[in-house]
């Protein structure tokens, strides 16, 4: 007489161990999947901030104004901000600041170097990595040479709304 357990009965006993293994692996898999999604979303927001800074430097360099006659000062700076915010995908929390690099009181003439900074706080999709993502600030600074005399306000900062 053989004391071996039939094959069908052994398979029934293995089902419980498969369920335990599955229960141990699924949380790790979900954590990995949500991490990939959150990282991709964060990367998209970072690229959008970089794109916004590049666009802001371009419109500020050519002394952009959306109105005729050309606006000046804070009004023109707000028009530049509006143009930049309309070109960004995630602009709800973005801040745009523009200034001349050497704030020595000289006029903002053609050829001077100016600086644009676009910054934002990242949004989350899953909320699973909140404490980590909350410590990150997305910002991009671009230095550029003025292609025409700037009439926008030096040292201006405005938020996208």
Strand order of the β-sheet with 138-145 is: 138-145, 113-120, 95-100, 156-159
Can you give the pLDDT at residue 5?
Answer: 61
Sign for the CA dihedral angle at 152, 153, 158, 161 comes to: negative
Can you give the pLDDT at residue 19?
Answer: 85
**Run means of pLDDT, 10 residues per run, the chain, 161 residues:** 62 74 94 94 95 94 87 90 91 89 76 93 88 91 93 90 75
Can you give the pLDDT at residue 11?
Answer: 60
pTM confidence score: 0.79
Cα–Cα distance between 112 and 144 in angstroms, integer?
8
Q: Name which of 159, 156, 146, 152 is nearest 71 in CA terms.
A: 152
Which residues lie closer than 8 Å to 108 by C-beta, 6 or more apart?
Answer: 100, 114, 146, 149, 150, 151, 152, 154
List phi, psi (to 5°) of 29. Answer: -65, -45
Can you give the pLDDT at residue 35?
Answer: 93
Q: H or E stretch including 21?
A: helix 7-61
């Amino acid at each position: 007489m053989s004391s071996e357990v039939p094959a069908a009965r052994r398979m029934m006993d293995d089902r419980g161990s498969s369920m335990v293994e599955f229960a141990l692996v699924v949380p790790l898999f979900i954590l990995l999947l949500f991490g990939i999604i959150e990282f991709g979303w964060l990367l998209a927001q970072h690229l959008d901030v970089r794109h916004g800074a590049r666009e802001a430097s371009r419109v500020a360099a050519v002394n952009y104004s959306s109105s005729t006659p050309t606006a000046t000062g804070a009004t023109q700076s707000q028009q530049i901000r509006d143009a930049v915010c309309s070109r960004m995908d995630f602009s709800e929390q973005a801040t745009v600041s523009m200034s001349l690099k050497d704030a020595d009181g000289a006029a903002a003439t053609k050829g001077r170097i100016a600086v644009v900074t676009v910054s934002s706080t990242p949004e989350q999709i899953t909320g699973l990595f909140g404490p980590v993502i909350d410590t990150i600030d997305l910002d991009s600074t671009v230095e550029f040479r003025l292609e025409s005399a700037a009439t926008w306000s030096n040292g201006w900062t405005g938020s996208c709304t």
